Amino acid sequence: MDNEQENTLIVLHISGNELEKNEGYNLRYILDSLKDFESLIDKTYLHFENKSRLSDEDKENLSLRLVDVREGSFIADLAIQMKAIVIPMAPLVAENSDFIWKMVKTSYTYLKTVLGAKKEGKTVNVQIDNSTDSILIVNNGTGNVDLTINPVISELSPKLSPIFSNLAKKVDGENVEKISFGESENSNDMVFTTEDAKLFKKRQYLEETVINLQGKIVNSSYSSFSGQIEIFENENDVPQGMYRFTTSQNLHREDQWKNMYLVIKSFTCQRRVTIDPSKGLEESVSEIHLIGIDN
């Protein structure tokens, strides 16, 4: 006998010049958005099943169906369907369609919070709590953001980040003004606007945190306040190697500049970091900003 189906209904709403009924819906934006949403569901399911691809059995167990389309730009009801089966005991398991959807939207909230805080130059402190199944966000008044999440979100969200980034790229403010997914037409659990599109783009930012590094300037341009510095072993998440550097005004004196050149020094500095959501949440140090010298 067939297993009972569990359905989670999600409303997709796409608005913009290319999504008006009187002009005809541009299928490229609709089909691409549907495909991305399907990828979010599939990747989440695979993560909790500890698999790399969907088997035929998985495809029978999990499906995404378009169950209704109506006017109002483009509005469609989507059903995430999973068979109600007996789940074996396992540390990671896709329980049901509601669970899959909750993990997707919680990952979205987590990513958007982290990317928004970093855009504003805030420090993000993440606490792991196995007992929570959602996300707790606290702006603690110091300019930092404290997050409490389940460890599965920190593992899943980098896998979903490239898909969220792809959805955000579709929003140009004209052809597509907004893409949203929610449990009703008025509950925008995942929203992609032009502002969100900026968040999910590759960018650099200068961290507020001041650190200490040992390094040697091996190439410099006094006129441009910049050059190359070799960084040695340290405990501040800056891999050893060569980096471009810039300097603060207080280091822009000829005697100071000569004193730094080709001599190992201990610098106070800040990291300029590159983050690319289309490749997950991994960050890389792209530049060192020198503030002072520890004598």
29-74 pLDDT per residue, tens: 999 999 999 999 999 999 988 889 999 988 888 899 999 998 888 8
Both structure tokens of 26: 């541009």
Share of the chain above pLDDT 90, in %: 45
Range in 5-9, 103-107, 182-186 with the lowest mean pLDDT: 5-9
Q: For position 280, what pLDDT does the model report? A: 86
Task: Compute the average pLDDT of residues 80-85.
Answer: 71
pLDDT at residue 170 greater than cutoff 90: yes
DSSP label at 278? B
Axis crossing angle, helix 151-169 with helix 27-49, rounded to the nearest 10? 170
Q: Residue 270: in which H helix or E strand, if any? A: strand 264-275
Both structure tokens of 82: 């999973």
pLDDT at residue 92 greater than cutoff 60: no
Ordered domains of the chain (ranges, CATH)? 5-96+154-201 (3.30.70), 204-294 (2.40.50)
Q: Where are the alpha helices (DSSP H) in 120-181?
A: 151-169
Range in 141-155, 198-212, 233-247 with the lowest mean pLDDT: 141-155
Q: HSE (CB half, 13 Å, CA atoms) of 267?
A: 30
Q: Residue 235: in which H helix or E strand, if any? A: none
232-252 pLDDT per residue, tens: 988 888 999 999 999 988 887
Which of helix, strand or coil describes residue 263?
coil
Q: 132 or 3: which carries more pLDDT confidence? A: 132
- Cα separation, 134 vs 153, whole angstroms: 9
Bridge-based pairing state of the strands 124-128 and 145-149: parallel
Beta bridge partners of 153: none
